[in-house]
């Protein structure tokens, strides 16, 4: 019986750690950084030590950001169904322990990224600072929080390039731009889906403050901007970052799937379509990272 309790406790601690660091989100950000690294690195000289440090540093920094965010938002999280069972609002973890964990992850993350190069650590520090000190306090104030949050959210893809090259130039800038523009349709789709829940907690993520045609038109516009930014490397104007015509066609097709659901949302104005748009946006950012990397390997 005692052994079973111990096993259960260990499982609970692990699941709480995964939940408070938002394991799925942290892993996706980590993969984004790895994709950026592979795009920037010489494929014949991939440094697995740097890759390891990038994975550790990336997870720790995103995990820490998420913990700080949840410490600040304990009260709103108690109100919303999708967040009320998180470790802090549910009372499974004390606030001070969460804070100690966040500080520990911040230190580990910064040390790991600094071991790669100082620029990578600097961008990692900027990301966590903006997320915690700008985006999180802005959420209950104005929908402009999505714009503010898009800056730290766009850093991971380009962080990998900086880790590989120790240089921030047009290539890293384009990777940043792609992920920056992607976040608007992605988070507005989430804001649409969670509109009532967010409203209860005092948040409003929609650009027009309502779920309406103006908001869905903005989603379409930013989806188009995102697709255009993703296709820039095929024009050979983005330095060492490039796409072959075949890669560009695949990127375009991926974008058109997302654009289709954005247009459908404009027509239907319903949560079901907003969910499809949100899922297609996750598919898009995953696919283009794979396409960019495979395109480079096969070029």
Q: Supply φ then ψ for residue 205, to 5 degrees.
A: -95, -5
Percent of the chain at pLDDT above 70?
Answer: 96
Q: Which pLDDT belongs to residue 13?
A: 83
Confidence of residue 15 (pLDDT cuts 50, 70, 90): confident
Torsion angle (degrees, nearest 10) of CA 275, 186, 27, 231: 120
Answer yes or no: CATH 1.10.357.140 is held by domain 1-168.
yes
262-289 pLDDT, tens digit each: 999 999 999 999 999 999 999 999 999 9
Let me know the angle formed at the C-alpha of 121 by 117 and 123, rounded to the nearest 5 degrees.
120
pLDDT reading at 225 higher than 80:
yes
pLDDT reading at 47 higher than 60:
yes
Q: Tokens 């005692």 map to which residue? A: 2
- Residue spans per domain, the chain: 1-168, 170-299
Q: Tokens 């920094």 map to which residue? A: 61
Is this model's pTM higher than 0.85 or not?
yes
Q: Which pLDDT belongs to residue 157?
A: 92
Confidence of residue 2 (pLDDT cuts 50, 70, 90): very low
Q: Which pLDDT belongs to residue 294?
A: 95
Confidence of residue 42 (pLDDT cuts 50, 70, 90): confident
Confidence of residue 202 (pLDDT cuts 50, 70, 90): confident
Confidence of residue 1 (pLDDT cuts 50, 70, 90): very low
Confidence of residue 45 (pLDDT cuts 50, 70, 90): confident
Q: How far is CA 221 from CA 46, 52, 188, 214, 266, in A?
A: 38, 38, 12, 11, 11
């Amino acid at each position: 019986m005692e052994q079973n309790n111990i096993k259960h406790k260990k499982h609970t601690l692990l699941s709480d750690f995964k939940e408070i660091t938002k394991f799925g989100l942290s892993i996706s950000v980590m993969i984004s950084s790895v994709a950026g690294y592979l795009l920037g690195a010489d494929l014949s000289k991939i440094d697995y030590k740097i890759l390891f440090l990038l994975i550790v540093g990336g997870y720790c920094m995103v995990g820490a950001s998420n913990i700080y965010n949840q410490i600040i938002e304990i009260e709103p999280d108690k109100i919303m169904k999708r967040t009320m069972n998180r470790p802090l609002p549910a009372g499974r973890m004390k606030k001070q322990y969460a804070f100690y964990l966040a500080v520990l992850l911040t230190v580990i993350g910064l040390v790991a990224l600094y071991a790669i190069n100082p620029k990578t650590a600097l961008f990692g520090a900027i990301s966590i600072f903006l997320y915690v000190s700008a985006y999180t306090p802005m959420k209950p104030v104005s929908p402009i929080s999505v714009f503010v949050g898009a800056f730290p959210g766009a850093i991971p893809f380009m962080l990998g390039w900086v880790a590989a090259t120790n240089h921030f130039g047009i290539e890293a800038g384009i990777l940043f731009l792609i992920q920056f523009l992607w976040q608007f349709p992605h988070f507005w789709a989430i804001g649409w889906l969670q509109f009532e829940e967010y409203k209860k907690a005092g948040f409003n993520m929609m650009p027009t403050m309502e779920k309406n045609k103006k908001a869905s038109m903005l989603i379409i516009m930013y989806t188009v901007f995102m697709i255009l930014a993703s296709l820039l490397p095929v024009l050979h104007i983005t330095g060492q970052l490039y796409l072959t015509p075949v890669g560009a066609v695949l990127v375009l097709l991926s974008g058109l799937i997302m654009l289709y659901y954005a247009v459908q949302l404009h027509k239907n104005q319903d949560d079901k379509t907003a969910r499809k748009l949100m899922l297609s946006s996750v598919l898009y950012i995953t696919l283009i990272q794979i396409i960019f990397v495979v395109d480079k390997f096969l070029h």
